[in-house]
Chains A and B, each alone.
Chain A
Amino acid sequence: MEPTIIINIKNCCGCNLCVLFCSWRRAKYFEPGKAAIQVNKDYKRNRYQIVLDEEKCDRCMLCVAQCPTGTLLKGEK
């Protein structure tokens, strides 16, 4: 069984903390564009999409731990 990240997008508040923690852990600076997780936003309609780069992601689960709304959950596959 491998750990995986389950995305419950309807809860996402758009805070970008997942992106920031991912970026920081990988590089020790903030380059959101190079994080393994990205939040694409349609501000006008409040529609969000979270994209996880499975190859880049090393399943550290920091994003899951920091998500304030339960949008990101730890799962297994």
Chain B
Amino acid sequence: MTVLLKVDLTSGKIETEDITALQHRYLGGLGINSKLAADLIPPRCSPFDEENVLLVGTGSLVGTLLPTASRTDITSKSPLSGRYGSSNSGGEWGVKLRLAGYDHLAIRGKAKRPAILYIDNGSVYLEEAAYLWGEDTWFTVDWIKENKGNDFEVAAIGPAGENLVAFASIQNNYYDSWGRNGMGAVMGSKNLKAIAIRGSGKIEVACAEYFNKICREAFEKVKNDDSFGWTNKYGSMIASTPYNKIGALPGRNFTRGALDGWEETRGRKIFAEKYKEKSMACHSCPIACSHWSKVKEGPFKNYETKGLEVTFVFEFGAKLDIASIPEIFKCVELCNRMGMDVISSASVIAYLVECCEKNIIKSSDIGFTPTWNDYKGTLKLLHLIAYKEGIGNVLSGGVKRAAGQIPGSEYYAMHIKGVEIPVRDPRAKCDIWSLGYLTNTRGGDHLRARSPVEIFAAGFIDHENEELGLTPEQIDELDMPPALKEKIFGTPPSRVHIPQMIRYAEDLITIINSVGFCIRPPVLRSLGPDFYARALNAVTGSNYTADSVLSAAGKIWELQHHFNQREGETISEYKFPERFYREPLPRLEGKPHPPLSEKNVQNIIETYLKIRKEEI
């Protein structure tokens, strides 16, 4: 049974609903959240209206021992984009929610005073928490664990969420986040400081014998994938070195694809040798791609933390050119404690620094001169943003809103559909990953379209087709319906058709986010729709096939797309910032990457949108 726990913070009413029928149509997690968002969030309501609903959805395989089955999606109307908002996180929080007997939460209304929602197995109650309002997330998690029990898992907001910073995160215990799209501000608008869960029940499996078979298959495939070893050793930091080498960094607000001294200060080797102490894992994950790190010398000697993720290095290390891993650690810690998305936080500061460089914003107006590689200035700005003070108030709405207030600054506001763009410059390679920034239903973000056969070094045949880089045997082995293989790779397989693959990659990641698996390469590359259909059938007793899970993913995309359309989205918003069409991107060696062709990009988007209307 799939159970929705409904909490009305205005009336205090708490009730449950059996939504098993939705699981059979929309898979779980992100899928069910998308359906609930379409049904429950009124069109044109403000993200901060009491009517907006904060939806929590654990993946339908979460809590089992299937590899990486730990992830939870949070959906709401985004205060950053004003559109469909969604964020995903792992750890154990979602597992505990399922063990407490609930799969989904729908939280509406607004508490009269700051409150915490406690879900203590069968006992669900709201408790006033004015004494924690204003405290950072770490203090909040500490307080709940000390006063209610160390076995509580906590999702909490910090001052940024309370102050309605448009890109406030919800923190998952101390170091993990539901980061993107401002879900923390929705929580803050509801006067909800935290959701604390103690779950000690059980999660049942519909067919034990079949589950055993599925489980063996999944572990074998994930562990035997070529990417398993390097993902364990470096985690996402694997990308740090090649992105600089190729010139794909978002350096200094997307003006430099490579940065001097990068490898010696922010490369993967120096991180692994100098800082990494051990691997860390989310619940039920054999990959263990996270790290525990320790600083062994210098002003931050003996500082320990979880990290580094490459996103932190690309954001604070490249966008702001902070050339010290310990300083990057500390910037991330401040974001975690204030409860702010790392990507949007670094982006708004990079926008400010460039505007100051170009004299669009005067240092005299903000009281100091922010610069690149400016650790102390960055910390100061992060505080100003979290508390909406001075220039921080302007930046707290995200770069799109800030550009609306500061004449002449729009060119430097690097966003798509109001959401700051992360991690990689599309001019280095305008592939599925880069174009996925445009098609993403949650705005400029890189995590909802990643090809399972991605080869970063592969070249282009033309702007719509990428070189294949796989053998016919590898294509045969791919868990993908044969008709789709023909559409994407051709007959005989000879290329990757980019618009077709964007659709497939989005649908595959939608399935993954709905069952609660992780999109790290060993999973993304080795497991496909047929596996997920069988796993769902084994665990939930559904009757899915590869085709029907893909069809469900298509319906989930439609729900998100229609949500955005009803809020006024048009095709004209599927557009990169002007800079990418006008300026070449310098790198350290070789010719600069040329600007993108607006015509080619628009052609691909039009083809993609046509493909979206086709039956699979």
Q: How far is the CA of A16 from the CA of B205 in the complex (A)?
A: 18
Contact B204 A43 (CB under 8 A): no
- Asked if A20 and B65 sit within 8 Å, CB to CB, the answer is yes
Output the nearest chain A residue to B294 by Cβ-Cβ distance. A46
A23 to chain B, nearest CB (A): 8
Min CB distance B22 to A, Å, is 22
Q: Within the complex, which residue of B92, B150, B281, B304 is in contact with A45, where a contact is CB–CB below 8 Å? A: B304
List chain A residues, Cβ under 8 A from B285: 15
Asked whether B384 is an interface residue with its Cβ less than 8 Å from the other chain, the reply is: no
Interface string of A58-69 (1 = CB under 8 A from B): 000000001011
Is A44 among interface residues, defined by CB-CB distance under 8 A?
yes
From 188 to 230 in chain B, residues with beta carbon under 8 angstroms from any chain A beta carbon are: 200-205, 208
Contact check, B281 vs A15: say whether CB atoms are below 8 A apart. Answer: yes
> Contact: A46 with B280, CB < 8 Å?
yes
Inter-subunit contact A46/B306 (CB<8 Å): yes
Number of B residues contacting the other chain (C-beta, 8 Å)?
32
Q: Does B403 contact A (CB under 8 A)?
A: no
Q: How large is the interface on A (under 10, 10 to 19, 20 to 34, 35 or more residues)?
A: 20 to 34
* Complexed CA–CA distance, A66 and B201 (Å): 23
Q: Is B465 an interface residue (CB 8 A)?
A: no
Closest chain-A Cβ to B580's Cβ sits at a distance in Å of 39
Closest CB-CB distance, A5 to chain B, in whole Å? 18
Contact B278 A13 (CB under 8 A): yes
* Set of chain B residues within 8 Å of A17, measured between Cβ atoms: 65, 284, 286
Given known A-B contacts A15-B283, A16-B283, A44-B174, A69 and B288 have beta carbons under 8 A apart: yes
Q: Across the interface, name the chain A residue whose C-beta is closest to B286.
A: A68
Helix, strand, loop or mixed for chain B's interface? loop
CB of B279 within 8 A of chain A?
A: yes
* Separation of A68 and B67 alpha carbons in the complex (Å): 12
Contact of B64 among A11, A15, A30, A43 (CB under 8 A): A30
Given A14-B281, A29-B203, A69-B279, A21:B65 Cβ within 8 A: yes
Asked whether A44 lies within 8 Å of B138 as measured between CB atoms, the reply is yes
Which of chain A's residues 40-66 have a Cβ closer than 8 Å to chain B?
42-46, 66
A13 & B201 in contact (Cβ 8 Å cutoff): no
Contact assessment for A13 and B200 in the assembled complex, using a CB-CB cutoff below 8 Å: no
Nearest Cβ on chain A to B81's Cβ, whole angstroms: 31
Say yes or no: is A33 at the interface (Cβ < 8 Å to chain B): yes
Chain A residues within an 8 Å CB radius of B281: 13-15, 68
The residues of B that contact A16 with a CB separation of less than 8 Å are 92, 283-284
18 contacts between A and B (CB under 8 A): A13-B281, A14-B280, A16-B92, A16-B283, A17-B65, A20-B64, A20-B65, A24-B65, A28-B205, A29-B204, A29-B205, A30-B63, A30-B203, A43-B173, A44-B142, A46-B280, A46-B304, A69-B279
B contact set with A: CB distance below 8 Å: 63-65, 92, 99, 138, 141-142, 150, 173-175, 200-205, 208, 278-286, 288, 292, 304, 306
Which A residues are within 8 Å of any B CB, using their own CB?
Answer: 10-11, 13-17, 20-21, 24, 27-33, 42-46, 66, 68-69
